Structure 1
Amino acid sequence: MITASWQAAPVLVLGAGPVGQTTALLLARWGVPTIVLDQRPHRDKIGSKAICQQRDVLDVWEAVGAGRRIADEGVTWTTARTFHRGTELFSYTFAEPGRPAFPPFVNISQTRTEEVLDERIAAEPSIDVRWGHRVTGVEQDGEGVRVRLDDGRELAGSYLVVCAGARCDDLRRLLGVRFDGHSFDDRFLICDIRTDLPGWASERRFYFDPEWNPGRQVLIHPCPDSTFRIDWQVPADYDLEAEAASGALDTRIRRIIGDRDYEIVWKSVYRFHSRVVDRMRCGRVLLAGDAAHLVSPFGARGLNSGVADAENAAWKLAYVGHGWAPDALLDSYHDERHAAARENLAVTTATMDFLVPPDEQRARRRIDILTRAAEDPEARKDVDSGRLSEPFWYVDSPLTTADPQRPFAGRPPRGQVPPAGPGVLLPDAPVVTPRGPGRIRELARDGFLLLTAPGADDGVLTAAAAAPGPVRVLALDEIDPGGALTAALGARPGEVWLVRPDAHVAAVLTDHRDITPALTRALGHDTTRKENSDGLLPAGR
């Protein structure tokens, strides 16, 4: 918890789903008060919704006291299996650089995740949650932002973070942002089924063209309480109520689980979309989560990406509001998270094009790949059942100082992570501190962090002392006696690793004279950007 006093009005957070909850909790950790507004009268507690929480998202939630509990209550899985008809094509497990605190993926219903985050919010006096508050207008100037409610009242804040979900078209119009993209014709039937399926509780299973859904796909995820989430690709004219009434839904389910007892906990039909706003920063307003981008769920990139939006927004709002960084730092929120959204759209659209080929040529190519993949390892590389969620690597960010000794080699194979370096998320590992055992990511999220390898010169402390906001210097040989972190970094003698408050590496340096310029860049001091006199971005940004 940062003890600096917040002098401005509270930050307004629109939407009390997981992205809005995370935003408020992280801002509270930075000493920033928030008012969370949601138009619903109370929280919905139906359905699994977003179930698959990625390791690095659990890390973010642990920073606000929720990650370990969510992980312990969820179902851990480490293996992803892909089948074509009755044949398993391949499986893979996930790389674990360093010694991470959490497993690669944990499945737990969004409903339960929201309950755990609500408990953490209830313990934070600086977070004020108000249900039944529908926003109908947004105005802003150089001093703050005001929202108008449907009952005519107004609320003032220093900034506004819009986490209002996919169906906030009116708000996007108020902000003047486009939401370009497209929607897919096929629907997906989702059922949460409580039953006993021995051997299926620790792996994700994806089926191309199984005999029990010919010509389409099925995805099966394990969940807590002997529940399995099953997704069927179904035609655009699929009628769930008619199928349930006729008994065809029971037949559909039994073709997968066999003659065993089961209970349908929740069922729904979704149409998937690929859309992203053209701007994620509109002056003092930031858009996050589904309000800013929509992707198909094959790869679990929706909620996980939204939580990354929340963390990116929270530390930057805190640094600007506390006076530790210029307003231009908020420009990098758009730069970084819009690039992440475009990456997610590219990955998930490629998956959807493989699942639902848009033309005959690509349909023939898919059949050829799937047929050959049973015997040909090279063909398996082209099978796209969804590249699972991973952190976005800020290698091209204006905040990142490139290192020619550690060039980014591009997207690694499925289940792998790139080598540590500028722009990449810091690998996690246990460390020793004056306060006792800890983890490096816990320390990283308390401000900027300078990790020094043996042989680093003495100017590091001087550079750190001159920087605004919290900056810590830690020697690798003191905090990492076992060498797990040093090995995961591939740290070389004399290096200084500059780590951002969201645990991404901002720079790897060998000369203390480069630390101040790298810190300055990481705080958003970029002379190539232009602002209006009121500190707001030009309307066209």
Structure 2
Amino acid sequence: MIIVGAGPVGLTLALLLARQNVPAVVLDEGPGKDEPRPARTVVLREDTAALLERLTSVALDEHGVRWAGWRSLRRKQVMSEVAFGEADPAAPLHIAQHVLTNALRAALADEPLVKVAVDSRLDAVEQERSGVSAHTRGARGTWWRGSYLVGCDGPRSTVRKLQDIRFPGRTAVERHAVAALRAELPWEGHALLHRMPPWRSSGPSAGEVTARPLPDGVWRLDWLLPPGKDLVTPEILVAGVRETLTGWTDSSAPAYELLDTGVHTVHHRLARRWRAGRVFLAGDAAHLLGAFGTQGLDEGLRDADNLAWKLAAAWHHGPHEALLDSYQTERRALVAARLRAADQALPVLRGGGGLRGIVPGTARGHDALFTDGHLGRGPLGASGTYADSPLAPRHLQADVPVDTPPGAPVTDVRVTAEDGSFVQLRDRLGRGALLVVLIAPGTGVWDRKHWVSAGVMPRLAAAVAALPHPAELLVAESYPGAPAHSVLLVRPDGHLVTALSGVRPADLYAAAEATLGGTAREERQEETREEPAPKEEAGSGVR
């Protein structure tokens, strides 16, 4: 596989592929390291933070701050407060992007299946029936050969341009002045959104300011700028910092250390196509969003998680077009819905009057939308469900409802693995295998040898072994809303396929087959993996 771009999405995709025994090359146009920028940070939701921790084996909480709570103010009034308990996995994690990227690079350094090619700027892509070739320019032009290519090369994606894929949308939906500073604020560990602060002026703190904590007493502050392209000078930004800190701390001259500044512009764009033959787009190359606190990186990481197991299945078992096409269908529809929700909310939330004056409770309704975006909930922030996926099985006789709808991410319950060890369900994700989970109350208190050959287990084990794709059998004492002895089928990216009432081998097989794209099997094309790479000049040819 060829991955173009060495940002968090590209590096994550490379690690996901390697965990599924798929070799990859990452074409990095830079020198292979990120310069520290304290003002360039990301907020990770619970599912994406867990994904990165599994891949890097790094406790990200030690390098970022998991919010203890969230507070929303309007003028001087507290509109809402959300408290997160200790080690609450639902709490968003705020971390500097260079710290995250360095953790991913360190994990890849120990991965023999992945090569990171630095100072490699893409300038040509050629597709054939059996593979794809990519050319990078430099002192010696190099051709790279692979089965598929994924463009994770950001908003100005060269891959997207070379494939002539349109990228329509809206430019400069919002602009924010950004500062990273060290200061003592009165809500340690809590994130804050302050709309229409009472000290409003003509500076960057006039309409809305957000504060997000980082380690070592550092905060990232974002001020919503008025429409237009007015220059934000250092003097204006420093005045905004002092004005905001004074208003929050009731101090005439609050102490602070300014570490980094910048201007962040939010665009809303969506690529027309996310697949062109053997070429795919992911992350900012495929979509841009970010108004109301939503985080584009979250969606990019979900792109990588969705695409990796499908590419791995094609690499190991031969291409299946319906499975590969489902990446665009699932991910583009979900991101498009999020963009529509944000664009529909913008005129109401940013408008001057209108609904605010005639609809009771409008201010609190507005606040709820902002909170959803910042906390990863609702239409603006939740991880989303592939409810209308083409991979969803149809007309199963034995499906039963559980608290997780089909197509939604599964709840992270404790399970017993086949070797008898107790693990979290999410720990078994990302390995390319389907997961089959039997809900069997009481098994947690008995040694595995006493129940592994009892009851329905032998029949279920035989059904799992007969599935058309590698699968792992797990046992859980309980699952939210699941009846005893029900069986859950889970995709490699952690989304629920279906829940069945009991051991139903025919339904389980049909559901697994649908998850792979249906019954139409395409012939394997051995030349995809075995044809010698053309135009190879510098020891390349990584698949």
TM-score bracket relative to the smaller structure: 0.7 to 0.9
Task: Name the CA distance, whole Å, in 2 between partners of 1:373 and 1:34.
Answer: 51
- 1:497 and 2:488 equivalent? yes
Q: Describe the shift of the 1:279–1:81 C-alpha distance in structure 2 as closer, same or farther (beyond 3 A).
A: same
In structure 1, which of residues 389, 392, 398 is the aligned counterpart of residue 384 of structure 2? Answer: 392
The root-mean-square deviation of aligned C-alpha atoms, in Å, is: 3.2
In structure 1, which of residues 420, 424, 428 is the aligned counterpart of residue 408 of structure 2? Answer: 424
CA-to-partner distance for each residue in 1:275-317, whole Å, 9 max, x for gaps? 1101111111111111100002533331111111111111111
In structure 1, which of residues 277, 286, 296 is the aligned counterpart of residue 280 of structure 2? Answer: 286
Find the counterpart in structure 2 of residue 222 from structure 1.
213
Task: Name the CA distance, whole Å, in 2 between partners of 1:40 and 1:307.
Answer: 21
CA-to-partner distance for each residue in 1:334-361, whole Å, 9 max, x for gaps? 111111211221233345434433xx6x
Task: Name the CA distance, whole Å, in 1 between partners of 2:223 and 2:75.
Answer: 14
Q: Describe the shift of the 1:117–1:527 C-alpha distance in structure 2 as closer, same or farther (beyond 3 A).
A: same
Say if 1:448 and 1:499, in contact at 8 Å, map to a contact too: yes
Task: Name the CA distance, whole Å, in 2 between partners of 1:406 and 1:58.
Answer: 31
Find the counterpart in structure 1 of residue 444 from structure 2.
none
Following TM superposition, by how much is the alpha carbon of 1:173 offset from its aligned partner in structure 2, in angstroms? 2.3
- 1:180 and 2:168 equivalent? yes
Say if 1:38 and 1:133, in contact at 8 Å, map to a contact too: yes
- 1:14 and 2:8 equivalent? no
Task: Name the CA distance, whole Å, in 1 between partners of 2:74 and 2:398.
Answer: 42
Aligned amino acid, residue 475 of structure 1: V
Following TM superposition, by how much is the alpha carbon of 1:179 offset from its aligned partner in structure 2, in angstroms? 0.8
Following TM superposition, by how much is the alpha carbon of 1:526 offset from its aligned partner in structure 2, in angstroms? 6.0
Task: Name the CA distance, whole Å, in 1 between partners of 2:343 and 2:426.
Answer: 32
Find the counterpart in structure 2 of residue 412 from structure 1.
none
Find the counterpart in structure 1 of residue 40 from structure 2.
49
Find the counterpart in structure 1 of residue 506 from structure 2.
513
Identity of aligned residues (%): 30
Find the counterpart in structure 1 of residue 159 from structure 2.
171
Aligned amino acid, residue 159 of structure 2: L
Aligned amino acid, residue 265 of structure 1: L
CA-to-partner distance for each residue in 1:369-389, whole Å, 9 max, x for gaps? 6x8467xx7786566773523
Q: Describe the shift of the 1:444–1:199 C-alpha distance in structure 2 as closer, same or farther (beyond 3 A).
A: same
Aligned amino acid, residue 196 of structure 2: D
Q: Describe the shift of the 1:212–1:36 C-alpha distance in structure 2 as closer, same or farther (beyond 3 A).
A: farther
CA-to-partner distance for each residue in 1:474-527, whole Å, 9 max, x for gaps? 233xxx3xxxxx242x11134211011111111112333111111001011265
Aligned amino acid, residue 137 of structure 1: A
Task: Name the CA distance, whole Å, in 2 between partners of 1:273 and 1:72.
Answer: 31
In structure 2, which of residues 53, 66, 71 is the aligned counterpart of residue 62 of structure 1? Answer: 53
Q: Compute the TM-score of the two structures, normalised by the length of structure 1.
A: 0.82
Q: Which deviates more, 152-161 or 342-351? A: 342-351
- 1:346 and 2:331 equivalent? no
Following TM superposition, by how much is the alpha carbon of 1:144 offset from its aligned partner in structure 2, in angstroms? 0.9
CA-to-partner distance for each residue in 1:106-138, whole Å, 9 max, x for gaps? 111111111111111111121111121111111
Q: Describe the shift of the 1:329–1:93 C-alpha distance in structure 2 as closer, same or farther (beyond 3 A).
A: farther
Say if 2:434 and 2:489, in contact at 8 Å, map to a contact too: yes
Find the counterpart in structure 1 of residue 460 from structure 2.
460
- 1:317 and 2:311 equivalent? yes
Q: Describe the shift of the 1:106–1:300 C-alpha distance in structure 2 as closer, same or farther (beyond 3 A).
A: same
Say if 1:213 and 1:232, in contact at 8 Å, map to a contact too: no
Q: Describe the shift of the 1:61–1:386 C-alpha distance in structure 2 as closer, same or farther (beyond 3 A).
A: closer
- 1:35 and 2:15 equivalent? no
Write out aligned runs for 1:66-77 (5 A).
66=57, 68-77=58-67
Following TM superposition, by how much is the alpha carbon of 1:211 offset from its aligned partner in structure 2, in angstroms? 2.2
Find the counterpart in structure 1 of residue 101 from structure 2.
114
Write out aligned runs for 1:430-441 (5 A).
430-433=414-417, 434-441=419-426
Q: Describe the shift of the 1:42–1:343 C-alpha distance in structure 2 as closer, same or farther (beyond 3 A).
A: same
Aligned amino acid, residue 36 of structure 1: V
Q: Which deviates more, 148-157 or 103-112? A: 148-157
Aligned amino acid, residue 286 of structure 1: F
Aligned amino acid, residue 426 of structure 1: V
Find the counterpart in structure 1 of residue 293 from structure 2.
299
- 1:88 and 2:78 equivalent? yes
Say if 1:325 and 1:523, in contact at 8 Å, map to a contact too: no
Q: Describe the shift of the 1:82–1:385 C-alpha distance in structure 2 as closer, same or farther (beyond 3 A).
A: farther
Say if 2:39 and 2:262, in contact at 8 Å, map to a contact too: no
Q: Describe the shift of the 1:229–1:171 C-alpha distance in structure 2 as closer, same or farther (beyond 3 A).
A: same
- 1:195 and 2:188 equivalent? no
Say if 1:298 and 1:351, in contact at 8 Å, map to a contact too: no
SS in 1 for 2:437: strand
Say if 2:69 and 2:81, in contact at 8 Å, map to a contact too: yes
Say if 2:398 and 2:507, in contact at 8 Å, map to a contact too: no
Q: Describe the shift of the 1:508–1:150 C-alpha distance in structure 2 as closer, same or farther (beyond 3 A).
A: same
Q: Describe the shift of the 1:219–1:253 C-alpha distance in structure 2 as closer, same or farther (beyond 3 A).
A: same
Following TM superposition, by how much is the alpha carbon of 1:249 offset from its aligned partner in structure 2, in angstroms? 5.1
Q: Describe the shift of the 1:398–1:47 C-alpha distance in structure 2 as closer, same or farther (beyond 3 A).
A: same
SS in 1 for 2:423: strand
Q: Which deviates more, 393-402 or 267-276? A: 393-402
Q: Which deviates more, 519-528 or 399-408? A: 399-408
Q: Which deviates more, 452-461 or 81-90? A: 452-461
Structure 2 unaligned spans of 5+: 441-454, 529-543
Task: Name the CA distance, whole Å, in 2 between partners of 1:456 and 1:231.
Answer: 56
Say if 2:20 and 2:430, in contact at 8 Å, map to a contact too: no
Find the counterpart in structure 2 of residue 523 from structure 1.
516
Q: Which deviates more, 13-22 or 31-40? A: 31-40
CA-to-partner distance for each residue in 1:165-197, whole Å, 9 max, x for gaps? 1122x4322112111111235521111111111
Task: Name the CA distance, whole Å, in 2 between partners of 1:223 and 1:349.
Answer: 30
Say if 2:415 and 2:425, in contact at 8 Å, map to a contact too: yes
Say if 1:296 and 1:352, in contact at 8 Å, map to a contact too: no
Aligned amino acid, residue 502 of structure 1: D
Task: Name the CA distance, whole Å, in 1 between partners of 2:99 and 2:483.
Answer: 43
Aligned amino acid, residue 439 of structure 2: A
Structure 1 unaligned spans of 5+: 1-10, 409-417, 481-485, 536-541
Task: Name the CA distance, whole Å, in 1 between partners of 2:237 and 2:291.
Answer: 28
Aligned amino acid, residue 87 of structure 1: Q
Task: Name the CA distance, whole Å, in 1 between partners of 2:407 and 2:264.
Answer: 35
Aligned amino acid, residue 407 of structure 2: G
Say if 1:295 and 1:301, in contact at 8 Å, map to a contact too: yes
SS in 2 for 1:474: strand
Q: Describe the shift of the 1:261–1:326 C-alpha distance in structure 2 as closer, same or farther (beyond 3 A).
A: same
Find the counterpart in structure 1 of residue 254 from structure 2.
260
Q: Compute the TM-score of the two structures, normalised by the length of structure 2.
A: 0.82
Say if 2:399 and 2:498, in contact at 8 Å, map to a contact too: no
Aligned amino acid, residue 137 of structure 2: D
Task: Name the CA distance, whole Å, in 1 between partners of 2:267 and 2:366.
Answer: 28
Aligned amino acid, residue 73 of structure 1: H
Q: Describe the shift of the 1:248–1:444 C-alpha distance in structure 2 as closer, same or farther (beyond 3 A).
A: closer
Task: Name the CA distance, whole Å, in 1 between partners of 2:165 and 2:366.
Answer: 41
Find the counterpart in structure 1 of residue 144 from structure 2.
155
Q: Which deviates more, 178-187 or 20-29? A: 178-187
